[in-house]
Structure 1
């Protein structure tokens, strides 16, 4: 099969819009014809009402068929008024996708979470297959993984803080704040001592302690935001939608306090950016993408994007830069529903699965691992790694609206990790430091752990 050409994306986008437009006009014409026919008939009012009802049902069936034109077997989807408004003209934002929409393009989540070591190995193997000449980052990764595990010990349960603050009010902050600050200061002092042993002759040696400082400062800021809620009407207004379920049974002071304690989306985006900085990951501009996925035009905008900056990494595409290494999607879900279950479908709702899957598919085309894509699902301070693997033909078949689909995509995922817990950070830091090395490779060519200065590589 001929390689997938980037120009095809824009071509298919235009052609698919024409097809969608023609289908929509055809449906509207048929509905108008049905309506005119009923208006001119001599049937009784009761018969007319029955005919109108039947016409609406037929119209709904036709629209449902249009939506399911890719699937081998139709699975019904929501047809609420809100969905109809959002999907007018077959435009469907990634945030409105449901899991059934993914299934209709033969893209599925694995049955259970993958052990993190296995997940990391699969991504690395795919990377080395695509970039066989990339350097071995093992020494650098091992060095900073060890430093982080030996110097960052603090652990915080944010859910516990919120509950206790709501129950005990201001008296809780005095009980919690002193030991919390002692742990943070202790980690800061340990990291400062460890920094003295670094040679500081390369970029990573110089960046490690400042990155630790910024992460610890951000942690203090996040925790104090909950200990001392901000009495800001605009801040509360932004948070109201996300706390409706939590405050439904609360009244008076408890409700007001819960509203103040709820952080806005930007707070967690900032915290994750500082967490990523701990591993030398630097986020860049976020592109809004409009991608044709089957018979839907999908808008996708991740919250954070990390791009490869290494000039030597090539993807085999000559006409368009493809360098998205990792992206982050913050979802509305705040906690795992059923922690005892291994199935992601039972841990988060269908809308979360659909949104993340749509973002993964949309980011696969510009991904540096195309046709695969790597992302992180972020729920406040918790994160789940996700990795979509699919054959190149699957992207082509979905974009070209071929049916029935003979190919499929699989989304691998991990168990949830909490950025505020030392045990979880220790488990993921090797993979994140490896990604930091990949991103920075060749950037300023100062990452050699032997202390040698390298000249920047230009092509």
Structure 2
């Protein structure tokens, strides 16, 4: 079949796992999963066949942020210096100010429960319209107060924060646009009695811009790679680009339309609760983004189920990557890599949204601080 790598047929069909001993450790692989020409067709087994394994347990968000911020970055001459968490001094003031402003701008939880009676009958729309109007009036007031040369309002934005007028306006304008996009999102759901992947992708894309990040549709720049002789293509829903003059990728985003079935206690969440095709697709998209990632030997990603975000981080060696490219029989690859992941965070729920602000602003500030 064209576009599919044919796996070794000599193994017994009843044998579902292959154990390869390399350099004193064993790597578990699936020996019956063929490599498809589109990563959107991959399953968890496909990823494991290449040595890409999701960590068994979710990484606590604080540990995940430290792992992310302590990783090497491929910035070139003229781009900002790396900022590690926790921020200090002026950078800390700037980050804290942006977080506080965002919390004050969007201090409510949203809802998209189309199963609730009267959900689409206007109550939520009126609340969001009022919130958007209040935010716009506050923006106008702040603009009027920005009359001094430095462009600061003494009460709202202390000068020691290091926050420029441009950054302040960017935060407010994009937050305002996010509320407007959410209202359009509700209208689409009302007209169609629900939403599709495109609706969730548009809403997430606008949310991400709040953090001075630049999401781009994945279809605008397909990733093509030959894996063990098989031409393979990745078209993620969104990609976060790091720097206009030297466009590396800050993150790759997979959007899934289906609801994520969560355990009653979210702390018990594991990747076993995620459909195998979703984790496989996301692993494939991260793999094909590896050469373009702003992180040294790592790729940051987001796996989004409707409005729930799972942050991911593939830590991978160059040697493993090139083995995947060059070995036609992937079962003989003597390497494995780990995809770390957090538990899900719903960015429409205030408490969960507030928890992820620091990390998202950290990503945005990598390309906005000069």
TM-score range, shorter chain: 0.7 to 0.9
Q: Tell me how far 1:392 sits from its aligned partner.
A: 2.0
Q: Tell me the secondary structure at the aligned position of residue 439 of structure 1.
A: coil
Q: Match of 1:304?
A: 238
Residues 69 and 403, structure 1, Cα contact 8 Å, conserved in 2: no
Bigger share in helix: 1
SS of the equivalent of 1:61 reads coil
Residues 179 and 121 of structure 1: is their aligned pair in 2 closer, same or farther, counting only changes over 3 Å?
same
The structure-2 alpha-carbon separation of the partners of 1:190 and 1:203, relative to structure 1 and needing over 3 Å to count, comes to closer
Map of 1:144 onto structure 2 = 98
Residue aligning to 2:325: 399
Tell me if structure 2 keeps the 8 A contact 1:307–1:439: no
Match of 2:171 among 208, 215, 220: 208
Q: Secondary structure of the equivalent of 1:365?
A: helix
Give, in angstroms, the shift of residue 196 of structure 1. 5.6
1:363 corresponds in structure 2 to: 289
Q: Of residues 256, 259, 265 in structure 2, which corresponds to 1:334? A: 259
Counterparts of 1:197 and 1:144 in 2: how far apart (Å)? Answer: 18
- Which whole-Å CA distance do the structure 2 matches of 1:326 and 1:218 have between them? 22
How far residue 301 of structure 1 moved from its aligned partner, in angstroms, is 1.0
Question: Following TM superposition, by how much is the alpha carbon of 1:407 offset from its aligned partner in structure 2, in angstroms?
Answer: 2.2
What's 2:121 paired with? 173
Match of 1:349 among 252, 270, 275: 275
Q: Quick one: which of 116, 122, 129 aligns to 2:67?
A: 122
Q: Which of residues 103, 112, 116 in structure 2 aligns to 1:164?
A: 116
Match among 425, 429, 453 for residue 353 of structure 2: 425
Shift of 1:296: 4.3
**Cα pair 1:322 1:365 within 8 Å, conserved:** no
Task: Name the structure 2 match of 1:61.
Answer: 9
Q: Does 1:103 align with 2:48?
A: yes
1:134 maps to what in 2? 81
Q: 1:77, CA displacement in angstroms?
A: 4.3
The structure 1 residue matched to 2:38, chosen from 66, 75, 93, is 93
1:440 correspondence with 2:368: yes
Gaps of 5+ in 1: 1-16, 25-58, 79-86, 231-259, 312-320, 443-459
> What SS does the aligned partner of 2:221 have?
coil
Task: Point out the structure with the larger strand share.
Answer: 2
Q: How far is 1:75 from its partner?
A: 2.8
User: CA-to-partner distance for each residue in 1:179-203, whole Å, 9 max, x for gaps?
Assistant: 4544454455455556666626543
Q: Is the 8 A contact 2:29 2:48 kept in 1?
A: no
Bigger Rg, structure 1 or 2: 1
Partner of 1:236: none
Once the two structures are superposed, what CA deviation does each residue of 1:200-249 show, in whole Å capped at 9, x if it has no partner? 654312322211211111122212333xx22xxxxxxxxxxxxxxxxxxx
Q: What secondary structure is seen at the aligned counterpart in 1 of 2:71? A: helix
CA 1:194–1:344 in structure 2 vs 1: closer, same or farther (change >3 Å)?
farther
**Counterparts of 1:394 and 1:322, CA distance in 2:** 24
1:374 aligns with 2:329: no
Q: 1:62 to 1:428 in 2, by over 3 A?
A: same
Q: State the match for 2:208 in structure 1.
A: 276
Alpha-carbon deviation of 1:70?
9.1
CA–CA separation in structure 1 for the residues paired with 2:237 and 2:29: 32
Structure 2: gaps (5+ residues)? 21-27, 84-90, 153-163
TM-aligned CA distance change 1:369 to 1:279, over 3 Å: same
Check whether the contact 2:236–2:253 (CA below 8 A) recurs between aligned residues: yes
Q: Which residue of 2 aligns with 1:267?
A: 199
Secondary structure at the counterpart of residue 157 of structure 1: coil
**Corresponding residue number in structure 2 for 1:288:** 222
8 Å Cα contact 1:111-1:343 kept in structure 2:
no
Residues in 2 aligned to 1:69 and 1:416: alpha-carbon distance in whole angstroms: 29
Q: How far apart, CA to CA, are the structure 2 residues paired with 1:414 and 1:192?
A: 38
* Deviation for aligned residue 1:432: 1.1
Asked if the contact 1:390/1:410 (under 8 Å) is kept, the reply is yes
Please tell me whether the aligned partners of residues 71 and 105 of structure 1 are also in contact (alpha carbons under 8 angstroms). Answer: no
Is the partner of 1:134 in helix, strand or coil?
coil
Q: In structure 1, what is the Cα distance between the partners aligned to 2:287 and 2:18?
A: 15
Counterpart for residue 153 of structure 1: 107
